[in-house]
């Protein structure tokens, strides 16, 4: 199943595709080469296409709007991200919990709309949620510390384990793992649950309404520790595209059983060569 380098094309179509977004479909505000026509061709063939993201600073509607603006018209139902998985997991497992989300407005709004009580009072907080929060400060860290360490009543979960969010030009921004690290560093607590990739909960959300076998579906992404690991853990085929975080060397450094099914230099090589020939595509076109 593993490759020894980038493939020109996939050998076959799969029955469903789940795509990461940042670094896979687009980078910043620009679609990556071949993304739009690849998605259009899969849809033309009636193959289900779904999208996943570990980024909780946007809700599914925001992702739908962004993809549509970029030329890939997408419904909210086709998108799952950690705003969705975190809210649904809490509803299923801790419906009466008082929450302290170290998070931006999309997640806070979703939790409020789901009926949860949000609080900054350490004496009443049951769960601290560490998320990607660009307003994180010492005050928030103190609240989490008091709720977990001093009052010994709260436990810690996270929306996603990403160390950083990639930006165009090779830069990045600290992500949720930095906030988890700060809380763990001062409290000594253990993380109880991760609600983002690589936890297979993300795959279950993405394929919830798709009647296909997981083994005949493919996860496509640019990160080995999240996108590809989730596919491996979930028994799903995977494709790593070299348009985001992972490099060819990163992939080949992995043991054979931990490598993706496919390694591609551009995403539209998911379309088999025979289909390219029928469509008259060229790798110099987008």
- What pLDDT, in 10s, does the model give residues 95-137? 999 999 999 999 999 999 999 999 999 999 999 999 999 999 9
Out of 3.90.1150.10, 3.10.129.10, 1.10.10.10, 3.40.50.1000, which CATH number does the structure's domain 16-54+197-279 have?
A: 3.40.50.1000
Residues 92-194, CATH architecture: 3-Layer(aba) Sandwich (3.40)
Parallel, antiparallel or unpaired: strands 16-20 and 26-27: unpaired
Q: Across the chain, what does the average pLDDT equal?
A: 92
> Shortest CA distance to 228 belongs to which of 212, 244, 208, 213?
244
Provide DSSP, 220-272.
Answer: EES-IIIIIHHHHHTT-EEEEETTSS--HHHHHTS-GGGS-SEEESSGGGGS-
Evaluate whether 16-54+197-279 and 92-194 have a shared fold: yes
DSSP state of 5: S
Contact 170, 126 (CB under 8 A): no
The model's confidence at residue 86, banded by pLDDT at 50, 70 and 90, is very high
The three-point CA angle 186-189-195 to 5° equals 115
Domain locations in the chain as residue ranges? 16-54+197-279, 92-194
- How confident is the model at residue 167, as a pLDDT? 74
Indicate the pTM of the whole model: 0.86
Mean pLDDT of 13-33: 93
DSSP tally for the chain: helices H, then strands E: 10, 15
Measured N-to-C along each axis, helices 105-113 and 82-93 cross at an angle, to the nearest 10 degrees, of 30
Contact 32, 266 (CB under 8 A): yes
């Amino acid at each position: 199943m593993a490759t020894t380098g980038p493939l020109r094309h996939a050998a076959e179509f799969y029955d469903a595709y789940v795509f990461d977004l940042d670094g896979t479909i687009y980078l910043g505000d620009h679609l990556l080469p071949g993304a739009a026509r690849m998605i259009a061709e899969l849809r033309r063939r009636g193959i289900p296409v779904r999208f996943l993201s570990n980024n909780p600073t946007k809700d599914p509607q925001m992702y739908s709007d962004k993809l549509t603006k970029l030329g890939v018209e997408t419904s909210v139902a086709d998108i799952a991200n950690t705003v969705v998985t975190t809210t649904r997991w809490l509803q299923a497992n801790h419906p009466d919990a008082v929450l302290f989300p170290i998070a931006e407005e999309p997640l806070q709004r979703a939790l409020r709309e789901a009926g949860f009580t949000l609080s900054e009072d350490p004496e009443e907080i049951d769960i601290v949620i560490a998320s990607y929060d660009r307003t994180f400060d010492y005050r928030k860290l103190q609240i989490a510390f008091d709720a977990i360490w001093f009052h010994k009543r709260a436990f810690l979960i996270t929306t996603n384990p990403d160390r950083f969010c990639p930006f165009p030009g090779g830069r990045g921004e600290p992500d949720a793992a930095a906030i988890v690290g700060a809380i763990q560093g001062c409290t000594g607590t253990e993380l109880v649950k991760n609600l983002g990739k690589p936890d297979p909960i993300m795959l279950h959300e993405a394929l919830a309404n798709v009647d296909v076998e997981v083994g005949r579906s493919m996860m496509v992404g640019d990160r080995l520790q999240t996108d590809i690991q989730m596919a491996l853990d979930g028994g799903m085929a995977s494709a790593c595209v070299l348009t985001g975080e992972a490099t060819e060397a990163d992939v080949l450094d992995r043991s054979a059983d931990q490598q993706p099914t496919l390694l591609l230099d551009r995403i539209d090589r998911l379309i088999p060569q025979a289909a390219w020939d029928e469509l008259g595509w060229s790798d110099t076109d987008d």
